[in-house]
Amino acid sequence: MARFSGIVSDIDGTITHNDRRLSVEALKAAHMISGRIPFILASGNTLCFTRAISVMLGTRSPLIAENGGLLLTSYDGDPILIEPRMSELKAALAVLQDHFDLCIFDSRDRVTDVSFAKTVQKEEILPFLSDFKNIHFVDAEYAFHLTDKNICKGDALSRMSEMMNMKPKDFVAIGDSNNDIDLFQAAGLSFAVASATDAVKKEADHVLQKGFGDGFAEMIDYLIQNDLIELEDERRDYYF
């Protein structure tokens, strides 16, 4: 099997426990590879949250936030915005709010999608979105999202890897939620943690024995033991 020169990982449920506490084992694994290989976080979280976790993990790499709507290529640089059809997103949200009492997340920080708590069944929501052809409903396990259909983690990885003079197939991807499926399809090798959804497990090249952040640590150990990733001897930044 070919060796890979980058890692791309989801955050919630992939490097955390079920309650979103950062996994100590995932933290240890991240610190072992930090600065020795491009390590991109690709999250549905806001940019400020994703950037903070990136710093704490020591990824020293670009990142992807809001399910692919925002790309940050340098530590202190301005993010690249993948412009959404925000008027249609807001219209879809307004329709849902007419029928449901939604708890909106990060309303002041989100700029490319809408996120809200899973207090309503997905099956109840979907019929009200049928008229919004450009809007994608995403069940990210820890929240529901309304996103532009042209924005996803997989496309963001393709954009980011091109800017890094790499290819998306150079990356190993890991995740747990349905919004990671297109990321798996873009990457060269994919892993689902044991706690992932059935749809994610079906799409993954490998299903790990451990769940949540312990699964991330298991993947890093597997990649190293089988000589599947290229780790540099000297640590450096991969920002550009």
The three state secondary structure string of 123-181 is HHHHHHHCCCCCEEEEECCCCEEEEECCCCHHHHHHHHHHHCCCCHHHEEEEECCHHHH
Ligand-binding site membership of 180 (annotated): yes
* 138-166 as b/e: b if 16+ CB within 10 A: bbbbbbbbbbbeebbbbbbbbbbbeebeb
Distance CA 116, CA 109 (A): 13
Structure tokens at 212: 């949540």
Ligand-binding site membership of 101 (annotated): no
* Cα 239–chain centre separation: 18
Q: What crossing angle do the helices spanning 24-33 and 47-57 adopt, rounded to 10°?
A: 70
Ligand-binding site membership of 148 (annotated): no
Ligand-binding site membership of 10 (annotated): yes
Inter-CA distances, 16 with 22, 69, 101, 116, 218, Å: 4, 22, 28, 20, 13
The radius of gyration of the chain from alpha carbons, rounded to an integer in Å, stands at 17
Ligand-binding site membership of 153 (annotated): yes
Instruction: Check if 10 is active-site.
Output: yes
State the binding site for substrate: 153
- Where is the binding site for Mg(2+), in residues? 10, 12, 176, 180
Catalytic residues: 10
Residues that constitute the known binding site: 10, 12, 153, 176, 180
